[in-house]
Structure 1
Amino acid sequence: MTTAEAASGRLTFREALERLSGAQKSAKGVSLYSRYVNRPVGRVLAAGSYRAGLTPNQVTLVSALFSFGGIAVTALADPAWWTGPVVWLALATGFAFDSADGQLARLRGGGSPAGEWLDHVVDCAKTTALHTAVLLAFFLRPEEFGTRWDAWLLLPLGFLFAAIVTFFGGLLTEQLKRKAGSGGPAGPAAPPSLVRAVALLPVDHGVFCLVFLLLGAGQVFLWGYALLGAAAALYLPMFLVKWFRELSRG
């Protein structure tokens, strides 16, 4: 730390990274990808954003720029060898910055209601736009993706339905539990379940981003997307039952 930094109380990159390492959210209910890939990468981005003088809201907008860049390529570009890696990198980077904004807010002493609102609205917009982009790709390029049968267009619509209801249901459950003050019993928290962390991988956004590596492969992407869509549809009722029971007990 330089003399000026010490006088201003500004953390170095390493100090910011160390402080962030000790201020992580609980790993309960988090998949292995988010726990061991997205959060650590987001931590580095949060420390870098702190040193760059960015605010959490600005980091949220950076996340949106990367994500919507990948979404635009998905909808507009013909499948080619480069489209998959480019889209995956853009989406994965956007997802990492999505983790960084909350971590940066905690580093700076806590977020604001407006920042939380912006984060959730952007998340909802990204999810809606991404599945809409896939729908457009299937509609505009049926030969490349093997979607000549119009019923295939129901796939991204169904996937979008499951994703949005899951997103809204989980968010509302969290808010209602917070409002009710049902933070759980006092005492040390139970260690996160490895089995649950593995089981959540099919509905983790980071794993969803990975399937876009197959975008240039046409029909291979279609089947990978369909597999994750089936997982989202299967998990949705289980999530809804779980959340309803939690709120009923609260």
Structure 2
Amino acid sequence: MGTVGTALLELRTAQKSAKGVSLYSRFVNRPVGRYLAAGSHGIGLTPNQVTLVSAVFSFAAVTALAVGRPSWDLGIAVWAALAVGFAFDSADGQLARLRGSGSAAGEWLDHVVDCAKITALHTAVLISFFRYPEHYGIPEEAWLLVPLGFQFSAVVTFFGGLLTEKLKPRPAPGSAAPAPSTLRAVALLPVDHGMFCLVFLLLGGGSWFRWAYTALGVASVLFLLAFLTKWFRELTAVPR
């Protein structure tokens, strides 16, 4: 095993394309994940073990949100655990590329954990809304549909994006990666998981959280409609 410094140098040349990646993931999550991947490599962790570390942090946040009384302190704790989990989620793939040990099983595990995290997180918000409606200023039970709608949109977006990448033809070997668009990177911020995690910093604010969460849910639905249209058009041109 090489040193952490050597691993960092190797990782800088083994990054995935920034095309279609938001500014947060590009300039915050991936760099943090690079350090975590280098550190994990230094202590001998495997990519699958790093995926499980990500799951531990993420589901600790989900559990705390579901069982705890909403407060500013809980919001900070939930955000921190989700952010660390997201960074480790970036680290597992980078570590796999560094070690040259990527596998179908590892990719499967990563995607299953991601899907479970998305589903569980919105379920935890629903539980918190149901248990503490007075804290969030929820005037009627119809507001409980918001986490369900957000969850539906997030899961379909996740699955649709994965399936589109699997069905699209792979670029020719040696072809240059398309240049990332700064405008697109900014536009994608409302549906970036890292930006979504920030909303939990408002958990102690009650109705502030409810409205901010709802705004992100509406953005998620609008982006889903745009993504579905784009993906269908791209795949229409793919011969079968």
Query: Shorter-chain TM-score: what band?
Result: over 0.9
After TM superposition, the score normalised by the length of structure 1 is 0.92
* Residue in structure 2 matched with residue 66 of structure 1 by the alignment: 57
* Residue in structure 2 matched with residue 147 of structure 1 by the alignment: 138
* Residue in structure 1 matched with residue 164 of structure 2 by the alignment: 173
How far 1:187 sits from its partner (Å)?
4.5
Which of residues 129, 135, 144 in structure 1 aligns to 2:120? 129
Q: Which moved more, 1:159-168 or 1:146-155?
A: 146-155
How far 1:189 sits from its partner (Å)?
3.3
Determine if contact 1:211/1:224 at 8 Å carries over to the other structure.
yes
Alignment of 1:87-106 (within 5 A): 87-106=78-97
Q: CA RMSD in A?
A: 1.2
* Residue in structure 1 matched with residue 185 of structure 2 by the alignment: 197
Question: Is the aligned partner of 1:18 residue 2:6?
Answer: no
Cα 1:213–1:56 change in 2 (3 A) is: same
Larger Rg: 1
Q: Which moved more, 1:238-247 or 1:151-160?
A: 238-247
* Residue in structure 2 matched with residue 209 of structure 1 by the alignment: 197
Q: Gaps spanning 5+ residues in structure 2: where?
A: none
* Residue in structure 2 matched with residue 220 of structure 1 by the alignment: 208
Name the CA distance, whole Å, in 1 between partners of 2:44 and 2:192: 30
Q: Deviations over 1:25-54 (max 9, x none)?
A: 000000000000000000000000001111
How far 1:81 sits from its partner (Å)?
2.4
Question: Is the aligned partner of 1:249 residue 2:237?
Answer: yes
* Residue in structure 1 matched with residue 223 of structure 2 by the alignment: 235
3-state secondary structure, aligned to 1:47? helix
How far 1:125 sits from its partner (Å)?
0.3
Question: Is the aligned partner of 1:113 residue 2:113?
Answer: no
Q: Which moved more, 1:140-149 or 1:112-121?
A: 140-149
Residue identity opposite 1:244 in structure 2: F
Q: Deviations over 1:169-189 (max 9, x none)?
A: 000011112xxx342697433
After TM superposition, the score normalised by the length of structure 2 is 0.96
Name the CA distance, whole Å, in 1 between partners of 2:178 and 2:58: 34
Residue identity opposite 1:28 in structure 2: K
Name the CA distance, whole Å, in 1 between partners of 2:69 and 2:206: 10
3-state secondary structure, aligned to 1:117? helix
* Residue in structure 2 matched with residue 56 of structure 1 by the alignment: 47
* Residue in structure 2 matched with residue 163 of structure 1 by the alignment: 154
How far 1:11 sits from its partner (Å)?
1.2
Name the CA distance, whole Å, in 1 between partners of 2:230 and 2:162: 14
Q: Deviations over 1:147-177 (max 9, x none)?
A: 2410000000000000000000000011112
Residue identity opposite 1:35 in structure 2: R
Residue identity opposite 1:123 in structure 2: D
How far 1:245 sits from its partner (Å)?
1.1
Q: Which moved more, 1:143-152 or 1:115-124?
A: 143-152
Residue identity opposite 1:75 in structure 2: A
Q: Gaps spanning 5+ residues in structure 1: where?
A: 1-9
